[in-house]
């Protein structure tokens, strides 16, 4: 789960990690007032669930409150497109106004889950800032990594090693050690899958400051933090994703034209691969999970049909826990309810498969059934012509 930069900074602050003074604004008048509070010269930062805002004009230094207000007017209601948002961008509904800081050096610092070692991994670089992806590509030796043993936790000597690798010395090095230890504590206690400070800066006045912050919470730990769902900004999510999560379905939007309904993440991956192999482009995939009911299948099907990019639907379900006749009933119910005339290919296998196929054949829908994954993929691609 994602949260905004300003929310991430509130959490950093609670763990004694210094952040710039700032205010969140919901209107351009509030941007102006916040800018006055910061003394006129300030940084205006669009809050979206994506990075790369700086280069897209979403982070700008302004010199007067009126200038801040003008920029606020321009940013609110705009969809900000960055390399991390996809072509449609994300709507700006909140703006963070912060005191401007004179930066002397910019570092990169993050803690993330390393899925290979199943451990938290600390990543740091003395060349932080908006070019970090480029640094990682061109000079990977400038990125320092350290995995943390969950039994011992992050030890001060390890944090010091990282601070020294960043080229820090003396008092500020010790400040950085404490900051890294605090960040690790936060990461663990808040069940984060990512905490990233980019840039972590040394100011001209000689202080360490987290200028940007990104936090992702581990979705599997949400039940331990009942306050997290209230932090969500729904304007940043795909409305279909929100509907899907209400029905406990996982929906992922993609760029093509074929809607995919599958059961199980592994089967979803295989389905996308085989579709591509046959020249099809998935518009999305919706995982109904194991043991779904007829109603759940119907909801899933309706969600897929609401995606305006969908020109055909490919259902690939391995019955076993799920019965194929239940799936067929769900599809027929949903497709009839929304008068769906789009081509549909259903590949199912497992219990009651013949009953399922007969139901579909007699449904009057524009539907074909398939016996194998490859056969199904070929059919839906052919039906779309
Ligand atoms: P991102 O592009 O989405 O990662 O947004 P950031 O919050 O990292 O802002 C982009 C860049 O703007 C930072 O890397 C800094 O170099 C710069 N920046 C942000 N705030 C300030 C500030 O107060 N003073 C100065 N001089 N630069 C800033
Ligand atoms: Mn940044």
Ligand 1 atom closest to residue 198's alpha carbon, by position in its atom list:
8
pTM confidence score: 0.85
For residues 149, 155, 160, 161, the Cα torsion angle rounded to the nearest 10 degrees is -30
| Alpha carbons 294 and 328: distance in angstroms, whole number | 8
Spell out the domain ranges in the chain: 21-99, 103-228, 238-384
Give me the CATH topology for the region 21-99.
Dna Ligase; domain 1 (3.30.1490)
Grade residue 225 by pLDDT with cuts at 50, 70 and 90: very high
248 has pLDDT over 90 = no
| Alpha carbons 30 and 33: distance in angstroms, whole number | 5
The two structure tokens encoding residue 62: 């302004």
- Average pLDDT in the 58-73 region? 97
Q: How far is the CA of 139 from the centre of ligand 2 (A)?
A: 19
Q: How far is the CA of 158 from the centre of ligand 2 (A)?
A: 24
Q: How far is the CA of 235 from the centre of ligand 2 (A)?
A: 21
Known binding-site residue numbers for substrate: 263, 320-322
* CB neighbour list of residue 378: distance below 8 Å, 6 or more residues apart: 278
Residue 20's pLDDT is 98
Grade residue 322 by pLDDT with cuts at 50, 70 and 90: confident
Q: How far is the CA of 248 from the centre of ligand 1 (A)?
A: 38
- Average pLDDT in the 359-382 region? 95
Which is it for the CA torsion 198, 202, 204, 209, positive or negative? positive
Q: Whose CA is nearest to atom 7 of ligand 1?
A: 212
Residue 323's pLDDT is 85
| Alpha carbons 194 and 155: distance in angstroms, whole number | 19
* DSSP three-state, residue 150: coil
pLDDT over 70 percentage in the chain: 99
Look over the chain and give the mean of its residue pLDDT values, rounded to a whole number.
Answer: 94
Listing DSSP states for 189-212 in one string gives: HTTEEEEEEEEEEEETTS-EEE--
- Average pLDDT in the 189-194 region? 97
Tell me the CATH number for domain 103-228.
Answer: 3.30.470.20
Thinking of the domain 238-384, which architecture would CATH place it in? 3-Layer(aba) Sandwich (3.40)
Instruction: Tell me if 103 sits within 8 A of 201, measured CB to CB.
Output: yes
CB of 100 shorter than 6 A to ligand 1: yes
Q: Which ligand is nearest to the CA of 53?
A: 1
Q: What is the number of H-type helices and E-type strands within the chain?
A: 13, 18
CA atoms within 13 A on the CB side of 127: 13
Residue 228's pLDDT is 95
Q: Whose CA is nearest to atom 8 of ligand 1?
A: 212
Residue 297's pLDDT is 85
CB of 8 shorter than 6 A to ligand 1: no
Instruction: Tell me if 121 sits within 8 A of 91, measured CB to CB.
Output: no
CB of 94 shorter than 6 A to ligand 1: no
Instruction: Tell me if 297 sits within 8 A of 331, measured CB to CB.
Output: yes
Listing DSSP states for 59-114 in one string gives: EEEESSHHHHHHHHHHHTTPEE--TTT-TT-EE--EEEEEE---EEEEEEEEEEEE
Question: Which one of 46, 52, 130, 131 would you pick to mutate in the ligand 1 pocket, going by the greatest count of ligand atoms within 8 A of its CB?
Answer: 130
Q: What is the pLDDT of residues 94-125, one digit of tens each?
A: 999 999 999 999 999 999 999 899 999 999 99
Residue 358's pLDDT is 95
Instruction: Tell me if 128 sits within 8 A of 106, measured CB to CB.
Output: yes
Residue 199's pLDDT is 96
CB of 57 shorter than 6 A to ligand 1: no
> 22 pairs with which residues across the strands?
98
CB of 43 shorter than 6 A to ligand 1: yes
CB of 199 shorter than 6 A to ligand 1: yes
Question: Which one of 212, 213, 214, 215 would you pick to mutate in the ligand 1 pocket, going by the greatest count of ligand atoms within 8 A of its CB?
Answer: 212
299 torsion bin: left (phi>0), alpha (psi -120 to 50), beta (else): alpha
By CB atoms closer than 10 A (0-12, 13-18, 19+), residue 143 is middle
Three-point CA angle 375, 321, 354, nearest 5°: 50
In the chain, the N- to C-terminal Cα span, in Å, equals 38
CA atoms within 13 A on the CB side of 261: 31
The two structure tokens encoding residue 9: 């900074």
Residue 289's pLDDT is 82
For tokens 């709507």, the residue is 91
Instruction: Tell me if 281 sits within 8 A of 260, measured CB to CB.
Output: no
Phi and psi angles of residue 226, each rounded to the nearest 5 degrees, phi first: -65, -15
For residues 49, 50, 55, 56, the Cα torsion angle rounded to the nearest 10 degrees is -60
Catalytic center residues:
108, 196
- Average pLDDT in the 53-77 region? 96
> 45 pairs with which residues across the strands?
59, 96
* CB neighbour list of residue 199: distance below 8 Å, 6 or more residues apart: 103, 106, 107, 108, 128, 129, 211, 212
The two structure tokens encoding residue 187: 């990461």
The helix-helix angle for 170-189 and 5-14 (nearest 10°) equals 110
Q: How far is the CA of 93 from the centre of ligand 1 (A)?
A: 19
The helix-helix angle for 324-337 and 294-306 (nearest 10°) equals 40
DSSP classification of residue 247? T
């Amino acid at each position: 789960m994602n949260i905004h930069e300003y929310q991430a900074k509130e959490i950093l602050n609670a763990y004694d990690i210094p952040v710039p003074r700032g205010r969140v604004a919901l209107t351009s008048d509030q941007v102006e007032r916040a800018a006055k509070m910061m003394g006129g010269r300030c940084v205006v930062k669009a809050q979206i669930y994506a990075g790369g805002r700086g280069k897209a004009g979403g982070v700008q230094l302004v010199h007067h409150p009126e200038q801040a207000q003008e920029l606020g007017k321009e940013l609110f209601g705009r969809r900000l497109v960055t390399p991390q948002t996809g072509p449609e961008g994300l709507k700006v509904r909140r703006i963070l106004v912060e005191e401007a800081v004179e930066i002397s050096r910019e570092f990169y610092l993050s803690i993330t889950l390393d899925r290979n070692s199943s451990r938290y991994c600390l990543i740091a670089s003395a060349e932080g800032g908006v070019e970090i992806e480029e640094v990682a590509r061109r000079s990977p030796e400038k990125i320092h990594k350290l995995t943390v043993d969950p039994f011992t936790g992050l030890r001060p000597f390890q944090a010091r090693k990282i601070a020294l690798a960043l080229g820090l010395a003396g008092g500020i090095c010790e400040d950085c050690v404490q900051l890294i230890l605090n960040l690790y504590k936060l990461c663990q206690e808040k069940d984060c899958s990512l905490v990233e400070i980019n840039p972590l800066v040394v100011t001209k006045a000689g202080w360490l400051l987290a200028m940007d912050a990104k936090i992702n919470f581990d979705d599997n730990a949400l039940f331990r933090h009942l306050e997290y769902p209230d932090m969500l900004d729904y304007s940043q999510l795909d409305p279909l994703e929100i509907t899907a999560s209400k029905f406990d379905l996982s929906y992922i939007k993609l760029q093509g034209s074929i809607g995919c309904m599958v059961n199980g993440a592994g089967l979803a991956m295989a389905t996308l691969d085989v579709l591509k192999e046959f020249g099809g482009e998935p518009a999305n995939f919706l995982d109904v999970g194991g043991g779904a009911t007829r109603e759940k299948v119907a909801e899933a099907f309706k969600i897929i049909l609401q995606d305006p990019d969908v020109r055909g639907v490919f259902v690939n379900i391995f019955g076993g826990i799920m019965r194929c006749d239940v799936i067929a009933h769900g599809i027929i119910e949903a497709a009839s309810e929304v008068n769906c005339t789009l081509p549909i290919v259903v590949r199912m296998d497992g219990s009651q498969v013949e009953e399922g196929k007969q139901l579909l054949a007699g449904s009057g829908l524009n539907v074909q059934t398939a016996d194998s994954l490859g056969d199904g993929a070929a059919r839906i691609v052919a039906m779309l012509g």
